[in-house]
Structure 1
């Protein structure tokens, strides 16, 4: 096991951060891929300037991936803002189209927002020095903690 010598045991907050880190990495990676595919589709179908706005929206998930990987709260907060914006778009689209599937997407986006917000708030309670120590941990048995 890769526990740091002389390091204090993991607190509940640190376990939550390590648990939710993987989820935020996965969600931001999926958001990055889907936003990139939408930008490519819009670029291929039209020469409108909409592709530029989609290219800017790629920065949100990219910040989420980098923020979760490096435990950097400001980058995660950019992804949190992206998730709020995406939820607003999903809600507007659900009202506009009246498709029942869109309600499911809104609920899923709300769940993702909750996970990112929990990760961001618990990351706030951990010092920068301890975050760098957590990044060095490998194969540490982390118990699932529900916050």
Structure 2
């Protein structure tokens, strides 16, 4: 009777859930299985070789995959918010102090300029383009600074809450931007081809 001896390593855990999400899983090595030789089974003789190790992705690469969808969601929310603010300003233009002779063009132009940040964030996260992510990161820092300044000046609870939220979003974008810089350009297309089962979406 053939007996498979896997050793005690097969019973060891490979890491907890946090390690899996952060890509800190240990490298798993192949374990040889003891049994009858090929000659006894009538199989052809094969060259003996060491078991091939199974490699995992670097932690930074897994962070890129895990944060990619989160950055896209944040960029879409920022874009939607800017569009709604521009529409609100145009509809209620009597409440804003610009010269009526200018029309609504200053608001539209300003809105389009601020839309460039989230649009670059969507493109950069979708196709792993670090240059576009850099633009969105600069936009996130600018928006975070403005939210903090407004929270300090007004000291409203809602303003303080939104300042914390924007600081959290900026932290996610900055982490994604940093980890994306560790991935060589020639390997970024390969990351996009990985199956969804290997990706754990993270929003913290």
Backbone CA RMSD of aligned residues = 2.1
Tell me, in whole angstroms, the C-alpha distance in 2 between the residues paired with 1:51 and 1:92.
Answer: 24
Corresponding residue for residue 96 of structure 1: 153
Runs of 4+ in 1 over 6 A off after TM superposition: none
TM-score, with normalisation over the residues of structure 1? 0.86
> 49-58 or 30-39, which moves further after superposition?
49-58
Select the structure that is richer in helix.
1
**Which entry has the higher C-alpha Rg, 1 or 2?**
2
- Are residue 75 (structure 1) and residue 132 (structure 2) matched? yes
Q: Is the partner of 2:198 in helix, strand or coil?
A: coil
Q: Is the 8 A contact 1:73 1:124 kept in 2?
A: yes
Q: Is the 8 A contact 2:148 2:163 kept in 1?
A: yes
| Counterpart among 30, 39, 43 of residue 77 in structure 2 | 30
Q: Is the 8 A contact 2:70 2:201 kept in 1?
A: no
> 1:106-145 residue pairs with structure 2 within 5 A?
106-142=163-199
Corresponding residue for residue 11 of structure 1: 58
- Give unmatched runs, 5+ long, in structure 1: 1-7
Higher relative contact order (CA 8 A, sep 6+): 1
Aligned length: 140
